[in-house]
Structure 1
Amino acid sequence: MRTTRSPWFHAVMIPFTLLWLAPIVFVLFVALRTFDDIATRGLGALPAALTLDGFATALAGGQVATALANSAVVTVCTVVASLALAAIAAYALSRHRIPARRTILLVMLAGNLLPPQILLIPVSRIAQGLGIYDTLFALVVVQVGFGLGFYTFVLHGFMRALPAEVFEAALLDGSGPGRTFWSIVLPLCRPALAALAALATTWIYNDLIWAMTVLQTDTKFPITAALLNLQGGYSSSWNVIAAGSLVAAVPTAIVFFVFQRHFVSGLLVGSGK
């Protein structure tokens, strides 16, 4: 049954919504202003005229486009590999009698509790020792390694909540572990996988610290590192920096809106139990 929101709810939420939108609108106005207008009247002034010169300058030379492509490759590969490995590990730990499986799960989760700052030098040295330093593959490996524990922990709890009758029926039908996982468990885990995919995409796409740790060539930088270079090259051209930031924010916004329904349902899984 559809519920009606109280007018007080809208009265409280509208100011919060406007407060949340204010920085985005501010950055958009800065991106649409000219350099001379900003230099003369300051960042806080309303634009005297609107122009797309900031976007044209940010996209000139192909640096931002190359960085977006690098970010897309790293993000897609990392999300697919992380969720695939996490789903397999969670299925094994939740549905099979593995010795010390609770300890294994806690050890995997404990890796996410370590501050990344203390691991920067070891990760860089390991990447160099393996011969993968300054490659997108190294960044994918690092992202998978540091996200796998959390994804496995979340999926483990979700899979343990699945009805035991489903697995008993599959066993009576002669379904093996592999077929049960592919045909039953994965479809039932779609909300959780979608929610994790949206979160992982945002985390990986917006990451800067690991990109600066295992990469050094400008043409291999993801969009976050490229924006840092853009700020260095156009330290006073705030319209260019704002335009580049808006361009970089578009992919994650698209992912969130595409997975919005699954993301919300994934967060609410188990809330009624």
Structure 2
Amino acid sequence: MTLTAPASTRELQDRRPPVRRPARPLRILLYAFLSLVALGWVLPLALAVYASLRPYEETSRLGYFSLPEHLTLDYYGEAWSQADLPRYFLNTLIVVIPGVLITLFMASFTAFAIARLRIPGRKVLLITFTAGNLLPPQVLITPLYTLYTLVPLPTWLSDSQSLYDSYLGLILVHVAFQFGFCVFVMSNFMRTIPEEITEAALVDGAGVWRRYWQLTLPLCRPVLAALATLEFTFMYNDFLWALVLMSSGDKLPVTSALNNLRGQFFTDYNLLAAGSMLVALPTLIVFQMLHKQFVAGLTLGATKG
């Protein structure tokens, strides 16, 4: 006869069913509030998708909040060709991709100098960058417009031979307005990196560039992905600066292409909804590609250990 050893106390505790704690009223209220907020964000998007799949004649006869008689994807093909979306997508990428890369590179290097190098006045410099984000961009429309018309450029950079009506001018204004926010976020993130890493590299003779490029920047991958997602969305959705600082219709970004779907006397809002879905698609793709790093960058530092 063989005797079996009794199970340990920890094993018995693991086998017990989890104790369900009673729901607190504040937690229920919080969940209800978050559900309403999520519904408020999702409902307009769902309605736009629903409208883009229905013919306008059916919607005008039955209303937007009615069951469909039939659904079709014809509006998407019509919006793609009528609004000339491929050309406007290319215009947007010419501005957004260099704008995001230049902003992240310059902001990361500046943040490294503020967080890791003992330069005089670095706190004042960081406050200045942060305060710059509080300035409404609308107050700078007239000075920037005047300045852009006065700054000369060679013909191969701008047909107008000035910063006005050029891709370079649009890139520069995006970099300038997003630079301070990225410096603020990245400098705070770099302060969480142990200083012993860069100090050991300094003892081994590593210069500033090597400590930045080979040691600090690889550790900033989560915050870089989060900022890349945000900056791509900010620059991609911008319409104000392109409207003010550009005059050639063939250079405008994709957000302006939706105006091509509006008629002089009649607007098919179902067609406009289909065009809006196509315009919003790149931001959804970028977020889907970087959503893990985006969430990691937002939650990093929220808990210790």
Q: TM-score, normalised by structure 2?
A: 0.81
Find the counterpart in structure 1 of residue 244 from structure 2: 213
Give 2:145's aligned amino acid: S
Find the counterpart in structure 2 of residue 164 from structure 1: 195
Deviations 1:236-262 (A, max 9, x none): 201110000000111111111111111
- 1: CA distance, partners of 2:303 / 2:19: 21
Identity, % of aligned pairs?
39
Find the counterpart in structure 2 of residue 201 from structure 1: 232
Find the counterpart in structure 1 of residue 51 from structure 2: 30
Distance verdict in 2 for CA 1:5–1:52, change over 3 Å = farther
Find the counterpart in structure 1 of residue 267 from structure 2: 236
Q: Displacement, 1:40?
A: 2.7
- 2: CA distance, partners of 1:236 / 1:28: 17
Q: How does 1:69-84 map to 2 (within 5 A)?
A: 69-84=90-105
1:231–1:241 contact (8 Å) kept in structure 2: yes
Give 1:240's aligned amino acid: L
2:133–2:180 contact (8 Å) kept in structure 1: yes
Give 1:67's aligned amino acid: Y
Find the counterpart in structure 2 of residue 40 from structure 1: 61
Q: TM-score, normalised by structure 1?
A: 0.90
- 1: CA distance, partners of 2:132 / 2:254: 26
Matched, 1:134 2:165: yes
- 2: CA distance, partners of 1:181 / 1:99: 19
1:234–1:240 contact (8 Å) kept in structure 2: no
Structure 2: 5+ residue stretches without partners: 1-17, 152-161
- 2: CA distance, partners of 1:209 / 1:251: 20
- 1: CA distance, partners of 2:39 / 2:131: 38
Find the counterpart in structure 1 of residue 130 from structure 2: 109
1:31–1:242 contact (8 Å) kept in structure 2: yes
Give 2:42's aligned amino acid: L
Matched, 1:94 2:125: no
- 2: CA distance, partners of 1:5 / 1:224: 50
Give 2:225's aligned amino acid: A
Matched, 1:58 2:83: no
1:63–1:219 contact (8 Å) kept in structure 2: no
1:218–1:226 contact (8 Å) kept in structure 2: no
Pairing partner for 1:188 from 214, 219, 226: 219
- 1: CA distance, partners of 2:192 / 2:19: 32
SS at match of 1:216: coil
SS at match of 1:94: helix
Q: Displacement, 1:17?
A: 4.7
- 2: CA distance, partners of 1:5 / 1:204: 47
SS at match of 1:239: helix
Q: How many residues align?
A: 271
Matched, 1:122 2:122: no
Aligned CA RMSD, in angstroms, stands at: 2.5
Give the greater-gyration-radius structure (CA).
2
Q: Which has the higher contact order (CA 8 A, sep 6+)?
A: 1
- 2: CA distance, partners of 1:5 / 1:60: 57
Deviations 1:54-73 (A, max 9, x none): 11221114622211221222
Structure 1: 5+ residue stretches without partners: none
Deviations 1:28-65 (A, max 9, x none): 12111113223333333332221222112211146222
- 1: CA distance, partners of 2:126 / 2:225: 22
Pairing partner for 1:264 from 284, 295, 303: 295
- 2: CA distance, partners of 1:47 / 1:115: 44
Distance verdict in 2 for CA 1:94–1:43, change over 3 Å = same
